[in-house]
Amino acid sequence: MKYLPLLWAGLFRKKTRTLLTLASIVVAFLLFGLLQAVQMAFESGADAADAKRLLTTARYSIIEPLPIAYLKRIEQVPGVVGVAYADWFGAKYQNESNAFPVFAVDPERYLAMYPEFTIAPAHREAFAKTRTGAVAGVRLVERFGWKIGQPLPISSEIHAKQDGDLNWQFDLVGVMDAEDPAVRGNTDVVLINVAYFDEARQFGRGKTGWYIERIADSGQAKEISTAIDTLFMNSPDETKTQPEKEFAIGFAKQIGDIGALVTRILIAVFFTILILTGNTLAQSIRERIPELAILKTLGFSDGKVTALVVAEAVLMLVLGGAIGMAAATALLPVVNGGTGGRFPPLFVDTATWVWALGIALGVALAIGLPPALRARRLRIVDALAGHR
């Protein structure tokens, strides 16, 4: 710690140069923070998954419906402690297809299945009691400026009412939120009451989209999944049951390898930064060879001089990294506002900070070691004799 002033002086020996280098490091880490947040948003489903939840969909394609009669049979499977179900409404709002997902659910079963969604008890009760009731995620409510109690006109691209009309109307009776920012994106839905929906729709009555099961012991997920699927084997509607996490990972993979793409971009970014910063540091050390020689003359050991040079690189990278990550953290709420809730919420989590620190140290070593080793090998006489 006592060498900090010395390091600082060395670093800011040429102010412009150091500030410019610092700026490009800041930009690199800012980009790192932002891109990691985007990547996490694509994979957040898997992180927010509850190990005690299973998902049952039609075996051959997740868009095929399943009979509602399966509910009673799934409930009897040993180890299953709760079952909910949901159906895809195919919403079109203000003429925009899939502006947000709408699920037709049994209110009590569904909200009990997702305890991470917070909803006021009065709202919960109103939803259960109102046949035409609907509850919406807080980000949707903010995005469209909805008010509790207002009618919610939503069209369906799939389901017509008895008279063939695709325009439905619900009453907004509640708002859902979540404390964990990783979960909040999952509340970007409108839930409607299946009792009303199923009775009023023209086709597909008695069917639902998928089932969600809560199990007592996550260690038994495999056995219980198999037990459920065995129930319906060789029936016209075979099922595929899997832990929620597996389903989320599988779905994220459908989007393709966003992770690999982001990683490649970041490698290009950090490679470029490595070259830029490495060159500057090497040059700065070259210019200070006489000074280093003097340090050695004063009695600094070879090891200490090496450590000083590496420490300078570490200081610069950690400083730039911290500023960059802080900027990303500050910027993301603005980005979230800008997307208008069309995209899951982006945020920098602890893991990203840890990664950033790791990368900063790695890059610092990569660019600090070569000049540090040169400084170590330096012979005092030669260094003081030559100009360089």
Taking CB under 8 A as the criterion, the residue among 36, 56, 155, 187 binding other proteins is 155
Smallest distance from the beta carbon of 4 to other proteins, in angstroms? 24
Q: CA 38 to CA 94: how far, in whole Å? A: 27
Ranges within 314-333 binding other proteins (CB under 8 A): none
Query: Does residue 230 belong to the site contacting other proteins (CB under 8 A)?
Result: no
Q: Toward other proteins, which CB reaches closer, 109 or 374?
A: 374
Q: CA 147 to CA 336: how far, in whole Å? A: 21
Taking CB under 8 A as the criterion, the residue among 56, 80, 84, 92 binding other proteins is 92
Query: Does residue 90 belong to the site contacting other proteins (CB under 8 A)?
Result: yes
Q: CA 240 to CA 52: how far, in whole Å? A: 17
In contact, 86 and 192? CB cutoff 8 Å: no
Instruction: Name every residue whose Cβ is closer than 8 Å to that of residue 143 and which is 6 or more positions away in sequence.
Output: 340, 341
Q: CA 119 to CA 107: how far, in whole Å? A: 12
Q: CA 241 to CA 222: how far, in whole Å? A: 9
For residue 222, which amino acid is it? K
* Rounded (to 5) percent helix, strand, coil in the chain: 55, 20, 25
Query: Does residue 122 belong to the site contacting other proteins (CB under 8 A)?
Result: no
Taking CB under 8 A as the criterion, the residue among 80, 221, 273, 314 binding other proteins is 273
In contact, 187 and 120? CB cutoff 8 Å: no
Q: Toward other proteins, which CB reaches closer, 131 or 205?
A: 205
Smallest distance from the beta carbon of 195 to other proteins, in angstroms? 23
Query: Does residue 98 belong to the site contacting other proteins (CB under 8 A)?
Result: yes
In contact, 130 and 193? CB cutoff 8 Å: yes
Taking CB under 8 A as the criterion, the residue among 3, 8, 12, 271 binding other proteins is 271
Query: Does residue 30 belong to the site contacting other proteins (CB under 8 A)?
Result: yes
Query: Does residue 250 belong to the site contacting other proteins (CB under 8 A)?
Result: yes
Longest Cα–Cα distance of the chain, Å, equals: 98
Query: Does residue 166 belong to the site contacting other proteins (CB under 8 A)?
Result: yes
CA nearest to 55, candidates 253, 248, 246, 244: 244
Cα separation values, 25 from 30, 116, 284, 327, Å: 8, 38, 17, 12
Query: Does residue 200 belong to the site contacting other proteins (CB under 8 A)?
Result: no
Ranges within 279-298 binding other proteins (CB under 8 A): 279-280, 282-283
Smallest distance from the beta carbon of 263 to other proteins, in angstroms? 13
Query: Does residue 16 belong to the site contacting other proteins (CB under 8 A)?
Result: yes
Query: Does residue 254 belong to the site contacting other proteins (CB under 8 A)?
Result: yes
Interacting residue ranges for other proteins, rule: CB under 8 A: 16-17, 20-21, 23-24, 27-28, 30-31, 34-35, 38, 60-63, 90, 92, 97-98, 155-158, 164, 166, 236, 249-250, 253-256, 265, 268-269, 271-273, 275-276, 279-280, 282-283, 342
